[in-house]
Amino acid sequence: MTLTEPTTTPKTTGPAEPAAPAEAILLVGGKGTRLRPLTVNTPKPMVPAAGVPFLTHQLARARAAGVEHIVLATSYLAEVFEPYFGDGSDLGLHLEYVTEAEPLGTGGAIRNVASRLRSGPDDPVLVFNGDILTGLDIGALLDVHRTSGADVSLHLSRVEDPRAFGLVPTDADGRVTAFLEKPQTPEEIVTDQINAGAYVFRRSVIDTIPAGRPVSVERETFPDLLAAGAHLQGMVDSTYWLDLGTPQAFVRGSADLVLGTAPSPAVPGRPGEYLVMPGAEVAPDAKLSGGTVVSPGAVVAPGARLHATAVLPGARIEADARITDSYIGPAAVIGARTTLTGVVVGDTAHIGPDNELTPGARIWCNTTLPARSIRFSSDE
Ligand code: GTP
């Protein structure tokens, strides 16, 4: 007698149910102190990068990943978001705004918008920090969340120097094993994986965050969930990732968007060495390179050379100025032959001719520097 394998008719399952588009929370209420003076009059997510408020890039990327409903958690300078983005329909989105009377921190802000979510208790809700420029595959993060059955899934990025970030080690299955904030000693640097500021929460987990008081999601919510035995899953990748928290990073991010190194559907032009926006005036012999953007109403005079630099609306760069890796705020003036390298110039500041400012200099809004008042060259 021969035994034959029992034949089973495969079950015909129709096409998979399309998952409802996930909704998202964007955290945009921080004070952005490290980015001053860019954030003196403008909240960090509204500071322009590659010609449009940085938040536009995040909204456009979320939309491209299928997200339709986004709740913006605002606090600092909250009043500027809605007049600019309105109901979001220009971007194909439905936007809602929730403003905290007092800043509630990252976790408190997430909890504070819970009543605006439409998701069921087990549905995924995306949460994004409002100052991260990344090529994250949002769909892949949602897939990791669904397939792992996690309570919270986190995007983790590998960085060379993790000291300024929160470390998130994982086990062989990608399950988070600890949260280590800003390690100081070599022994504390147990991984190069950092919290990259994009999460998927099971909706019901958001409802467990304490309401009405400041909560840090990084320092309180995640460690508490881990201690309580919750399943936190990491998705590690090495895609483009930049925290735009500092002026140097912001300048880099804007240039990378113009160059096309950082992906965004919202850059108002083709990738290239420079982006000159309608209404900007650039002298024919001025030289723009390295992802420079010149915004509407800005003027670049003859002989000026700008590399990896953002020139904001109404700013004026006078003849033969040399500007590298810098951010020139709205209506600021840079005098003739002045050299700036790695400098941030606040709104309406006026730097007279023949100055030389070196990396890290920050010129506050409305400041005036007379001609030849600062020079570091040894040739004088
Ligand atoms: P710094 O003051 O320079 O550290 O910047 P920040 O205030 O933006 O803080 P951080 O970079 O740690 O914030 C991470 C993200 O959370 C950013 O997108 C902030 O806008 C946001 N965020 C931080 N604190 C709050 C808050 O109290 N309320 C809300 N709604 N968002 C916040």
pLDDT digits (tens, 9 = 90+) for 276-304: 999 999 999 999 999 999 999 999 999 99
Return residue ranges of the chain for CATH 2.160.10.10: 273-376
Return residue ranges of the chain for CATH 3.90.550.10: 23-246
3-class state of residue 95 by DSSP: strand
Q: Which run of H or of E encompasses 222?
A: helix 222-227
Q: Which run of H or of E encompasses 58?
A: helix 54-64
Phi, psi of 339 (to 5 degrees): -115, 125
- Relative to beta strand 52-53, strand 48-49 is antiparallel
Residue 243 CA to ligand 1 centre (angstroms)? 12
Our mutation pick for probing the ligand 1 site, out of 27, 42, 199, 222, counting the most ligand atoms within 8 A of Cβ, is: 27
- Relative to beta strand 232-237, strand 132-134 is unpaired
> Is 2.160.10.10 the CATH classification of the domain at 273-376?
yes
Asked whether 51 lines ligand 1 (CB < 6 A), one says no
Of residues 238 and 297, more confidence is placed in 297
Token pair 């449009």: residue:
52
Q: Tokens for 270?
A: 């083709």
Distance CA 361, CA 325 (A): 12
Residue 130 CA to ligand 1 centre (angstroms)? 8
Specify the ligand 1 atom closest to the Cα of 74.
30
Question: Given its phi and psi angles, is residue 41 left (phi above 0), alpha (psi -120 to 50 degrees) or beta?
Answer: alpha
pTM (two decimals): 0.90
How far is CA 310 from its chain centroid?
Answer: 16
First to last CA, the chain: 104
Q: Tokens for 2?
A: 């021969």
Residue 1 has pLDDT above 70, yes or no: no
Distance CA 291, CA 50 (A): 8
**What is the mean pLDDT of the segment spanning 353-357?**
96
pLDDT at 7: 35
Tell me: the pLDDT tens digits for 118-165? 999 999 999 999 999 999 999 999 999 999 999 999 999 999 888 888
Residue 29 CA to ligand 1 centre (angstroms)? 6
Asked whether 46 lines ligand 1 (CB < 6 A), one says no
Distance CA 93, CA 308 (A): 31
User: To the nearest 5 percent, what fractions of the chain are helix, strand and coil?
Assistant: 20, 25, 50
What is the DSSP-derived secondary structure letter of residue 168?
Answer: -
Asked whether 247 lines ligand 1 (CB < 6 A), one says no
Classify domain 23-246 by CATH number. Answer: 3.90.550.10
Distance CA 305, CA 283 (A): 11
Residue 94 CA to ligand 1 centre (angstroms)? 23
**What is the mean pLDDT of the segment spanning 245-256?**
96
Distance CA 214, CA 346 (A): 31
Distance CA 102, CA 214 (A): 9
Residue 78 has pLDDT above 90, yes or no: no
Asked whether 130 lines ligand 1 (CB < 6 A), one says yes
Phi, psi of 323 (to 5 degrees): -130, 125
What residues does 71 pair with on adjacent strands?
A: 25, 96
Q: Give the residue whose CA is nearest to atom 5 of ligand 1.
A: 32
**What is the mean pLDDT of the segment spanning 108-122?**
96
